[in-house]
Amino acid sequence: MTDSTTTTAPAPFAEPTRAVTGGWIALFATAWLGIWMAQLTPVQLLLPVQIEAQLGATYWVDNVVAFGIISGIAGLCALIAYPLTGALSDRTTSRFGRRRPWIAAGALLFAASLFVLGLQESIVGVGVFWALALTGFCVLTAALTASISDQVPVNQRGYVSGWISAPQAIGTILGLALVVGLELGQFLGYAAIAVLLLVLVLPFLLRVPDAVLPTASKLTFAAFIEGFWISPRRYPDFGWTLLSRILVNFGNAFGTALLFQFLQYGLKVDDAETTLILLTLVYMVFVILASLVLGKLSDRLGRRKVFVFVAAALQGAAALLLAFVPDLTVAFIAAGMLGLGYGCFLSVDQALATQVLPDPHTRGKDLGIMNIATAVPQAMAPLLGALIVALLAGFQGLFILSAAAAILGAVAVLPIRSVK
């Protein structure tokens, strides 16, 4: 199918040279808007409230730890789902293309799991269906992210990758505003974001061409396990990029995953839900500006490392502010700094990652491994963060750890040689 969004997709494994159109980018961004709304609205609000209601704990740390355990279990699912989906989509010979069937399957699993999650009245049920929802998220985003290396030329990847991160902030604020503003409650909240996920992903699925792979080798268990390991000695730039991404995403996740609890229990804000929306709004503005403007500037200058370094260091500075000046006004300043740093990081680092992949025949699998470095920190940070908060009886240690991880992530990008 062809339309104004693209003409035809590049051949499988070919390096794309033709620029994608504004229509292609619009459909791509719309899909990510639905994805982030469906993933981050539960993380920021629906899940913590649901767990607190089911657990009935009198000590707030117990609620934080339970949220962390459920997120950690879901993170283990992501560890398998990302590279497995990537490897399978690299070899898919469907007449609909390599990535499209996995985008559809992931979206359906994600939406169905969210819908059922809203019906759960036990802590075990919440854990099971959130793990299934995150698995669907991983399947969907593994295939969608691979579309960048499949179809977007190198000199557009910073800008196009910015349209992954910009909708993240918008999706979060829209999801929170929808649930809180309309007072939807548990079931209707999950159901609404599940429906919106499908509605917003469907246009990309139907209108963007996906090259058909005529034949492919069968994926064996041994080949999958072997492909999971990419030697950092043989491919050092891939290794350094992966390490940097893990550290920076842990830094960001430690700084944001327990934000609702920090407002509620750390700063003792009376209306934590409304304040969370306002903080997210500030964060959103800076994420959008940074991801689009700095992503495009990175393309124009042909440089990635300096942008990633400064973006990661800025997130570290924001976390230190929260650690040593725990005040609501400072929290708004830190939200702007985090948004500026993370927005730039998401767009430019994604472009960087596509330029250090070892083999064009395994783009999906290799990007799946890269995506682990994003999803697993986001899933594991609530558990690790909750343990830190419980052990230290406060949030300061958590934000210090967030700063340390982000700053080390900035340093890790410096040894990369093949990309400026």
- Res 371: pLDDT: 78
The residues spanned by each domain of the chain are 22-211+222-412
Token couple for 275: 């304040």
Altogether, the residues listed in the chain come to a count of: 420
Candidates 351, 345, 272, 346; CA nearest to 314 is: 345
- Please compute the mean of the pLDDT values over residues 347-369 and round it to a whole number: 78
> For 31-35, 178-182, 311-315, 401-405, which range has the lowest pLDDT when averaged over its residues?
178-182
Residue 4 pLDDT > 50: no
Residue 2 pLDDT > 50: no
pTM over 0.85: no
- pLDDT, tens digit, 9 for 90 and up, residues 27-66: 999 999 999 999 999 988 899 889 888 887 677 677 777 8
| Spatial CB neighbours of 56, under 8 Å, sequence gap ≥ 6 | none
Residue 365 pLDDT > 80: no
What rounded mean pLDDT belongs to the chain?
Answer: 85
- Please compute the mean of the pLDDT values over residues 193-214 and round it to a whole number: 90
- pLDDT, tens digit, 9 for 90 and up, residues 138-155: 999 989 988 888 888 888
- Res 6: pLDDT: 47
- Please compute the mean of the pLDDT values over residues 344-355 and round it to a whole number: 84
> For 77-81, 156-160, 273-277, 364-368, which range has the lowest pLDDT when averaged over its residues?
364-368
- Res 312: pLDDT: 92
pLDDT confidence bin for 220, thresholds 50/70/90: low
- Res 393: pLDDT: 67
pLDDT confidence bin for 95, thresholds 50/70/90: confident
SS3 labels along the chain: CCCCCCCCCCCCCCCCCCCCCHHHHHHHHHHHHHHHHHHHHHHHHHHHHHHHHHHCCCCHHHHHHHHHHHHHHHHHHHHHHHHHHHHHHHHCCCCCCCCHHHHHHHHHHHHHHHHHHCCCCCHHHHHHHHHHHHHHHHHHHHHHHHHHHHHCCHHHHHHHHHHHHHHHHHHHHHHHHHHHHCCCHHHHHHHHHHHHHHHHHHHHHHHCCCCCCCCCCCCCHHHHHHHHCCCCCCCHHHHHHHHHHHHHHHHHHHHHCCHHHHHHHHCCCCCHHHHHHHHHHHHHHHHHHHHHHHHHHHHHHCCCHHHHHHHHHHHHHHHHHHHHCCCHHHHHHHHHHHHHHHHHHHHHHHHHHHCCCCCHHHHHHHHHHHHHHHHHHHHHHHHHHHHHHHHHCCCHHHHHHHHHHHHHHHHHCCCCCCCC
- pLDDT, tens digit, 9 for 90 and up, residues 377-419: 877 787 788 788 878 767 888 999 999 999 999 999 999 988 8
- Res 244: pLDDT: 92
> What is the longest distance spanned by two Cα atoms in the chain?
60
% of the chain exceeding 90 in pLDDT? 34
- Res 8: pLDDT: 64
pLDDT confidence bin for 246, thresholds 50/70/90: very high
Q: CATH number for the 22-211+222-412 domain, one of 3.30.70.360, 3.40.640.10, 1.20.1250.20, 3.60.15.10?
A: 1.20.1250.20
- Please compute the mean of the pLDDT values over residues 77-86 and round it to a whole number: 84
- Res 204: pLDDT: 95
